[in-house]
């Protein structure tokens, strides 16, 4: 494939869902950029967030590990989480390394860039902002919850989420990368605390809406208590539209729930609840709906099939 033929893919989100997708995409000759939320305030990220006044590194660390091309032992070391009873307990080595590099360079984005070189990542990782962002949720009863880690704990329906400061600016490179993309991918991941925070940054949202790239959402496999309890596929999409201010997706990829139930002999009447495909409603929201068995069981968890999702995305982008 000639350089001029390389497709440019931008992926939004955070957490393990996004990382699984990137592990598949990095195997293809594409220009890959991950734009990652920096609204995490729990665990190791939250402690570093408070102590060093830097954007929380946790989601960025996971994405960098997924895109790395180093010996497995090096990646395992980067992801290593300390145990014990001292001050290191709960911290991952990668989070500490990103914090140290931020202190050395004086800039979080510069630290991510330098760590990317160390890990020989395939593509680029851009934080959604180069400063601290706080995520808030307005619940259905009108109460406001502050802090990404606290939002799922209340168990009440979320009306909307928003960030402060509201005038936060992304890197100039971020908007340009979005506008020049051939394909923009959203999800999978926690809808309100991983996927949506990236497009709550005004300039990022505007760049997405103005981009001529095809835009596809990879549906979550299960609903999440405290965020999307018993949400259907169309309700996930509608939440994206509500926060963007308009419809913008060209396609959505959802799991073939019936095939998955048959394969694993489950009835879907116990948690975690599988996301049900209300296809009739979904097709009123999105021009193209792809239904494929993209879920598997791994260590007792329901996860996306890395390569199957990547194959769907590559086939889709080749047709655009």
Tokens 């982008």 belong to 317
| Cα first-last separation, the chain | 17
Strand pairing category for 288-292 and 251-255? parallel
Which domains are assigned to the chain?
Answer: 3-39+128-133+171-318 (3.40.50.10680), 42-120 (no CATH)
pLDDT (0 to 100) of residue 1: 40
pLDDT (0 to 100) of residue 45: 59
pLDDT (0 to 100) of residue 2: 42
What distance in Å separates the CA atoms of residue 248 and residue 240, rounded to the nearest whole number?
9
The pLDDT-based confidence of 98 (bands split at 50, 70, 90) is very high
Query: Is residue 92 a contact partner of residue 80, using CB atoms and an 8 Å limit?
Result: yes
Pick from 134-138, 186-190, 206-210: least confident = 186-190
Q: Is 223 left (phi over 0), alpha (psi -120 to 50) or beta?
A: beta
Q: What is the mean pLDDT of the segment spanning 57-79?
A: 89
pLDDT (0 to 100) of residue 41: 67
CA separation (Å) from 316 to 37, 214, 290?
A: 25, 9, 10
pLDDT (0 to 100) of residue 75: 86
pLDDT (0 to 100) of residue 306: 94
More confident residue, 220 or 57: 220
pLDDT (0 to 100) of residue 241: 98
pLDDT (0 to 100) of residue 3: 43
pLDDT (0 to 100) of residue 57: 84
Pick from 78-92, 118-132, 189-203, 236-250: least confident = 78-92
What distance in Å separates the CA atoms of residue 187 and residue 299, rounded to the nearest whole number?
22
pLDDT at residue 138 greater than cutoff 90: yes
pLDDT (0 to 100) of residue 49: 60
More confident residue, 252 or 152: 252
pLDDT (0 to 100) of residue 265: 85
Summarised one tens digit per residue, pLDDT across range 261-277 is: 999 888 767 778 899 99
Residue of 77, 4, 5, 15 lying closest to 43 (CA atoms): 15
Q: Is 67 left (phi over 0), alpha (psi -120 to 50) or beta?
A: alpha
What distance in Å separates the CA atoms of residue 261 and residue 177, rounded to the nearest whole number?
39
The pLDDT-based confidence of 38 (bands split at 50, 70, 90) is confident
Q: What is the mean pLDDT of the segment spanning 281-308?
A: 94
Return the C-alpha torsion angle 70, 303, 26, 10, nearest 10.
-130
């Amino acid at each position: 494939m000639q350089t001029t033929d390389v497709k440019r893919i931008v992926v939004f989100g955070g957490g393990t869902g996004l990382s699984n997708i990137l592990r598949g995409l990095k195997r293809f000759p594409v220009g890959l950029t991950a734009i990652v939320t920096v609204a995490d305030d729990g665990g190791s990220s939250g402690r570093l967030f408070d102590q060093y006044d830097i954007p929380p590194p946790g989601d960025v660390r996971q994405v960098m590990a997924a895109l790395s091309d180093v010996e497995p032992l090096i990646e395992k070391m980067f992801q290593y989480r300390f145990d014990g009873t001292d001050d290191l307990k709960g911290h991952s080595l990668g989070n500490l390394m990103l914090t140290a590099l931020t202190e050395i360079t004086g800039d979080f984005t510069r630290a991510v860039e330098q760590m990317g070189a160390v890990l020989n990542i395939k593509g680029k990782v851009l934080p959604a902002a180069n400063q601290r962002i706080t995520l808030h949720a307005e619940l259905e009863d009108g109460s406001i919850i502050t802090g990404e880690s606290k939002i799922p704990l209340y168990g009440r329906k979320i009306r909307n989420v928003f960030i402060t400061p509201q005038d936060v600016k992304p890197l100039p490179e971020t908007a340009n990368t979005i506008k020049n993309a051939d394909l923009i991918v959203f999800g999978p991941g926690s809808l309100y605390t991983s996927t949506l925070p990236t497009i709550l940054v005004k300039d990022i949202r505007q760049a997405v809406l103005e981009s001529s790239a095809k835009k596809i959402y990879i549906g979550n496999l299960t609903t999440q208590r405290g965020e999307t309890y018993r949400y259907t596929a169309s309700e996930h999409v509608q939440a994206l539209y509500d926060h963007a201010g308009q419809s913008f997706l060209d396609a959505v990829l959802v799991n073939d729930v019936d095939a998955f139930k048959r394969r694993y002999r489950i009835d879907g009447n116990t948690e975690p609840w599988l996301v049900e495909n209300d296809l009739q409603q979904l097709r009123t929201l999105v021009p193209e709906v792809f239904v494929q068995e993209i879920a598997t069981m791994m260590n007792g968890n329901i996860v996306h099939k890395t390569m199957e999702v990547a194959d769907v995305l590559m086939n889709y982008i080749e047709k655009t």
